[in-house]
Amino acid sequence: MIKKFLSLQWKEFTRSSAFQKGIAIKILLIFAALYFGAIALFAGIFLFFGIEEMFPNEDPMVIVNNFIIFWFLIDLVIRYFMQQMPVMNIKPLMIIPIKKGTIIHFLLGKTIISFFNIIPLLIFIPYSIVLLAQGYAPLHVIAWFISVMAITQALNFLNILVNKSNTVFYITLGLLATFAALEFFDIYKISEFFGVLFNGLYNHPYLVVLPIVLAAFLYYLNFDYLNKRFYLDGAISKEIKEVNASDLSWMDRFGKLATFLKNDVRMIWRNKRPRQVLMMSGFFLFYGLFFFTQKAYDDMPAMVAFASIFITAGFLFSFGQLVPSWDSEHYKMLMSQNIPYRKYLESKWYLMVLAVVISFILSTPYIYFGWDKFAMIAAGASFNIGINTFVTLFGGALNRVPIQLNEKAKAFSNTNGFNPTQLLIALPKMLLPVLLFYIPYFLTDYNLNAGIITLALSGVLGLVFRNFFLSQIEKVYQKGKYKTIEAFAEKK
């Protein structure tokens, strides 16, 4: 039966619209995976020798155990935002004689063979081989390696629960916040406690059973959670809600754009997912506090420019990157209407511009850190309006992953609709403004004003060519229109 599931998954993958994407994107993603895999492999090989050189009087194994908890914490955070949840079209399987347990075991088993689980293998296998070559006890090294891999799988299964259950999410978030507060305010060094724990796993090989039991327990919790919700009526029934109508007649002044703008405002107001994104974008306003309050960044203006972009780009990055996925549930109907595609794109553009302007107004308190910092935020806002909005819209043409607006999968930031292509599109949005600032800054003998003016003018130039950019983006959307409709029609 597992062999049959694998066959069905392969057919679903090769026949899906995702498989039809441009070969260039596939090649870039493959190279990215190989690049990060190679970095992990070399890190594992040279980790021991690097630590030995930096701390000649310390045992590298002790140093690794003291700090490995931070690796696991970062791993958990990255998994939450980037790891895709186990997906399978299970509705047809519910009406044929296949045991529920078999399907659930297959779904959970898929997550074990994940890029996020392969990276630790590429790091810790060569590291363990180096330890053995350096004369460390084989039994201790093997038991420690198994413990690390078991904890990695435990994080994998914990991440699934965090994504599926609001209760688990808030408990996990509360624990992480408590640990961070205890560590930051020197109340209790949590890192030292985990250092002792991991050193204990190495010094006492029989303790390897604890991480294994933990991973097995979290696997069981996932199995139990899915098993209790594995029913046909729960899969196909729709929750009926009372919808409160709002008077948005004041938007009629925008002419033909009003219809689209009203739809977006209603969507954000009525649905859980876009409301979460709107709330999340507000946190970007505090991004400058991490950079402007640190004196170390006073000598790194390029990093300050990087932070200034994010302050006004919260809604642009979080909402804009999922255009047109927001409309995936009614995209076919929308595209069948007698309305220009250009107006649809312009409405999204105006919405992002409005969000940048509001964010810039709300960032006014940053004047406290100096007019130069606020001028950099203004230049970043100009770049976001004149360049980043168009780059974001262009990236949307490559985003054909549907979104369920009221999906209950995550408590805070549902990543349904996320795909690796967005990472490639995000690179120019983050790196280009840094280059536009730093190159004139460097060429004018470190003149801060030159970098700020160049960054601001780039946004103005983008607005001058607004119609040209929108026309080119419209052509890209029109070319892939039917592929997008087909992709959004695929049900998961």
Q: Which amino acid is at 180?
A: A
pLDDT of 240 reads 45
What is the Cα–Cα distance from 248 to 265, expressed in whole angstroms?
A: 9
**Terminal Cα-to-Cα distance of the chain (whole angstroms):** 20
Q: Which of 13, 11, 119 is nearest to 71 (CA)?
A: 119
Residue 473 contacts residue 397 (beta carbons within 8 Å): yes
Q: What angle do CA 252, 254, 255 make, to 5 degrees?
A: 75
Residues 6+ apart with CB under 8 A from 119: 36, 37, 40
Give the pLDDT confidence of 245-255 residue by residue, as tens digits.
555 665 656 66
Residue 336 contacts residue 407 (beta carbons within 8 Å): no
pLDDT of 190 reads 83
Cα dihedral 292, 296, 301, 307 in deg (nearest 10): -40
Q: Which two tokens stand for residue 154?
A: 């435990």
- Model confidence band, residue 18 (pLDDT cutoffs 50, 70, 90): low
Residue 405 contacts residue 417 (beta carbons within 8 Å): no
Mean pLDDT of 363-384: 89
Give the pLDDT confidence of 90-144 residue by residue, as tens digits.
666 666 777 878 888 888 888 888 888 888 999 999 999 999 999 999 999 999 9
What is the Cα–Cα distance from 128 to 48, expressed in whole angstroms?
A: 9
Q: Which residue has the higher pLDDT, 475 or 485?
A: 475
Give the pLDDT confidence of 441-479 residue by residue, as tens digits.
888 888 888 888 999 999 999 999 999 999 998 888 888
Give the pLDDT confidence of 270-286 residue by residue, as tens digits.
777 777 777 777 788 88
What is the Cα–Cα distance from 112 to 159, expressed in whole angstroms?
A: 12
Residue 481 contacts residue 396 (beta carbons within 8 Å): no
Would you call 355 helix, strand, or coil by DSSP?
helix
pLDDT of 395 reads 83
Half-sphere exposure of 33 (CA within 13 A, CB side): 12
Give me the residue spans of the domains in the chain.
2-236, 250-489
pLDDT more than 70, % of the chain: 81
What is the Cα–Cα distance from 218 to 175, expressed in whole angstroms?
A: 17
pLDDT more than 90, % of the chain: 21
Mean pLDDT of 28-46: 80
For residue 68, count CB atoms less than 10 angstroms from its CB and return exposed for 0-12, middle for 13-18, buried for 19 or more.
Answer: buried
Q: What is the largest CA-CA distance in the chain?
A: 77
What is the Cα–Cα distance from 394 to 153, expressed in whole angstroms?
A: 37
Compute CA 102 distance to the chain's CA centroid, rounded to the nearest angstrom. 30
Residue 156 contacts residue 79 (beta carbons within 8 Å): yes
For residue 175, count CB atoms less than 10 angstroms from its CB and return exposed for 0-12, middle for 13-18, buried for 19 or more.
Answer: exposed
